Structure 1
Amino acid sequence: MRDLVRRIESATPPGRDRAVDALRALAILGVVLGHWLVTALVADSGTVRTASPLQYMPHLAPVSWAFQTLAVFFLVGGYAAARGLDSSRARGGSYGRWLGSRMARLSRPVTAVVALWAVVAVLTLASGVGLATVLALVKLVWSPLWFLLVFAALTAVTPLVRRLHPLWPLALVLYVDVFRFGFDGPAALGWINVAAGWLVPYCLGASWARALPGRRAGWGLLLGGSAATAGLVLVAGYPASMVGVPGAAISNLNPPTLAAVTFGLAQCGAALLLIGPLRRVLRRPAVWAAAALVNLCAMTVFLWHQTAMIAVTALGLLAGRPLTGLHTPPDGAGWIVARLLWLPLFTAALLICRSAFGTYEQPRRPSGGRVVAQGRPVRSEAVRDA
């Protein structure tokens, strides 16, 4: 481990902002842990269906606030895209080449998970598994891909986003919600917010690439976003949960509402305030190595964490009876305690997925300096670009 830490430390460019990588790692891990805690696969009468503990215990909605970290990911994504585009242009590269490289980093791991689950779906249907069960599992794995489609679209328009003030997409989200909820507008209008809502933190990140906002801006986003979110939930009647709840009339996330966007602004403010402390902590080589390794497989972790949970759940069926926290309805404190005990097995299954499919995420470059990841040598450029 000491040798691994030294290799990663020596492969890291001196000017790299390690705090950005730490924020990306925290955002991804927050999404993964959130999905594992608020998603249940209930085995009932020969079928498997999805459920959420928030259906049975709505008072736990504040827990979703800690794990709905997509705004931080878009913040970091906007920053990284703007910095990467500037760096490419400084080296004489074209926009097309820069975009092609970033799209390849997204498409290769996505192709792997889509292809494998297409085969799994066909085989499970052929073996006699019910269509409802197969659809529930495939939807669980493929539904997070909407996030990558939005992220890819925003990446493609990064040169335009850099000229856009975050208040413009925020105003669009406000107008959509006012018309949708205040004047009984069509529900389909809310899908405009899928792009506009996540464009807000992405714009903030692109602005950050030009100049890091001060602590006053961070506090303003944190306090202003928190106050706006509290007002929307307590006064305007928005849902308290910041993740989707099956069967709920309104979701803050699908599509994003104004409450989700203001909550994301509060998270962005907290992230900006953490930059200084994170930079100090990440001077320690061992801490930085952990953050770097997560970033090297961030896409793999995001794409395969639901598969890991499904695999453990499926193997648990071999016990011959429903296992609490794995197959039973998430309707009480006992389920929560049991689910926490299952998390290490989910993590072990995810590590197996990472070993099997992590190579799809690594950039294809000529040989160069090497560090160790995935149990094998990889190029130092991978650490630079992670």
Structure 2
Amino acid sequence: MRDRVQTARARPAAGGPSALRELLERVERATPAGRDRAIDGLRALAIAGVVLGHWLVTALVADSGTLRGASPLRELPAFTPASWLFQTLAVFFLVGGLVAARGRARAEQGFRAWLRRRLARLFAPVMAVAAVWSVIAVTMLARGVAVDTVLALAALVWSPLWFLLVFGALTALTPVAARIGPAWPVAVVALVDLVRFWLGGPGWLGWVNVIAGWLVPYCLGASWAGGLPSRRTGWALLLGGAAATAVLVLWAGYPASMVGVPGAAVSNLDPPTLAAVTFGLAQCGAARLLAGPLRRALRRPLAWAAVAVVNVHAITIFLWHQTAMIAVTALGLLTGGILPGLHTAPDSAAWVAARLAWLPVFGAALVACCALAGVKRPGRAGG
């Protein structure tokens, strides 16, 4: 579908409502008749959650001529539910496992050729980010920008890229993911947590969960490749996962935040804990329940066109969304003032309100970054 949507968007059209209508018709015609639009809708929701989550829980504070990273989750515990809404990684891995398993089943080439093609599509866009940020970092240092500022900005851009490494590793495990199912990786995560939290085991053991933890939704998605399970299964995952997460948070001492909080002794995400896994299972259940409503909603041409475009450029959006926020923050400094919600400490409800007002600006900057990154180049089908 990606090739067809790219072609549909590339054709010139006159401006005005008729041009929009023509574009929507082209995207509609480019969509295969049997495509399950709910899967694309879930992927779009997942990438939107990641982007909005990073923009809301990450702040760059102007402090004595430098920029330092901060998080409202540390200063505003009441903001914790935001991490429940916007930490959507399990849905991304769920959809990834489902799409990879379906794509592998349809592929005519051998596994190695299929894997090489998928990994190239996954990692090729990283080269542009690496090149741009190498130039930015060298230029900033040459102009006397504080090293701490450069490191803080680079960390915002590079730290989320662990996701691509894990996704690539799980893609290589696609042939066995559907066969082993999610129960075994859940057991591995539980055992690792038991050893490191209760039996005095080494902290480094938690990094086993980076693969095992995200293998849970990936395996679940691969097992759904032949068709989505019943709504009863969706409710079981949602309610069971939510109940297990509540027990782990309220009585086992796991953090309530589903993302890392600066200064916290334990993070549910870095590396993943059993609470992150059970929370992810609840999200997978919610995704199954949302599939029907999404499928109906995406019959509307405008909604489907928006989702199709996001899916075509999902990796580009992921790679450049932090750069967009940084660009707006840096341009804001050129005004000569400290702008609320952009350069101020995230320690009040006023900061949250101001930050929400900046989100459309970040979105516009992201569109510009994606355009400069060359998102109109011919792509390949999304699988």
Q: Which residue of 1 aligns with 2:375?
A: 359
Alignment of 1:1-386 (within 5 A): 1-88=20-107, 92-359=108-375, 362-363=378-379, 382=380, 384-385=381-382
CA distance in 1 between counterparts of 2:223 and 2:61 reads 44
CA distance in 2 between counterparts of 1:189 and 1:361 reads 42
CA distance in 1 between counterparts of 2:327 and 2:160 reads 18
Asked if the contact 1:239/1:252 (under 8 Å) is kept, the reply is: yes
* SS state at 2:191 partner: helix
Residues 179-227 of structure 1: CA deviation (Å, up to 9, x unaligned)? 1111121111100000000000000000000232111110000000000
- Which AA in structure 2 matches 1:298? A
Asked if the contact 2:260/2:270 (under 8 Å) is kept, the reply is: yes
Q: Percent identity?
A: 67
CA distance in 2 between counterparts of 1:72 and 1:360 reads 27
More displaced stretch, 318-327 vs 75-84:
318-327
CA distance in 2 between counterparts of 1:107 and 1:321 reads 38
Shift of 1:115: 1.6
CA distance in 2 between counterparts of 1:347 and 1:294 reads 13
Shift of 1:321: 2.1
Residues 220-242 of structure 1: CA deviation (Å, up to 9, x unaligned)? 00000000000000001111000
CA distance in 1 between counterparts of 2:309 and 2:219 reads 27
Asked if the contact 1:19/1:279 (under 8 Å) is kept, the reply is: yes
- Which AA in structure 2 matches 1:198? W
Residues 306-341 of structure 1: CA deviation (Å, up to 9, x unaligned)? 000000000011121211101110010111111111
CA shift in 2, pair 1:248/1:361, >3 Å: farther
TM-score normalised per structure 1: 0.92
- Which AA in structure 2 matches 1:28? I
Asked if the contact 2:58/2:72 (under 8 Å) is kept, the reply is: yes
CA distance in 2 between counterparts of 1:122 and 1:259 reads 40
* SS state at 1:319 partner: coil
CA distance in 2 between counterparts of 1:306 and 1:253 reads 19
CA distance in 2 between counterparts of 1:360 and 1:235 reads 51
* SS state at 2:68 partner: strand
CA shift in 2, pair 1:125/1:351, >3 Å: same
Asked if the contact 1:304/1:353 (under 8 Å) is kept, the reply is: yes
CA distance in 1 between counterparts of 2:377 and 2:68 reads 31
Residues 26-65 of structure 1: CA deviation (Å, up to 9, x unaligned)? 0000110011011000010111110001111112211210
More displaced stretch, 143-152 vs 92-101:
92-101
Shift of 1:163: 1.5
CA distance in 1 between counterparts of 2:289 and 2:375 reads 34
- Which AA in structure 2 matches 1:124? M
Shift of 1:107: 1.4
- Which AA in structure 2 matches 1:31? V
CA distance in 1 between counterparts of 2:161 and 2:229 reads 31
Count of paired positions? 364
- Which AA in structure 2 matches 1:233? V
* SS state at 1:385 partner: coil
* SS state at 2:224 partner: helix
CA distance in 1 between counterparts of 2:69 and 2:382 reads 36
CA distance in 1 between counterparts of 2:374 and 2:174 reads 27
Q: Which residue of 1 aligns with 2:6?
A: none
Shift of 1:358: 4.0
TM-score normalised per structure 2: 0.93
Residues 236-285 of structure 1: CA deviation (Å, up to 9, x unaligned)? 11110001111111110000000000000000000001111111111222
Structure 1 unaligned residues grouped into runs of 5+: 364-381
Asked if the contact 1:299/1:361 (under 8 Å) is kept, the reply is: no
Shift of 1:162: 2.3
- Which AA in structure 1 matches 2:23? L
Residues 131-159 of structure 1: CA deviation (Å, up to 9, x unaligned)? 11111100100001100000001001211
* SS state at 1:163 partner: helix
Shift of 1:361: 7.3
* SS state at 1:359 partner: coil
CA distance in 2 between counterparts of 1:325 and 1:136 reads 18
* SS state at 2:225 partner: helix
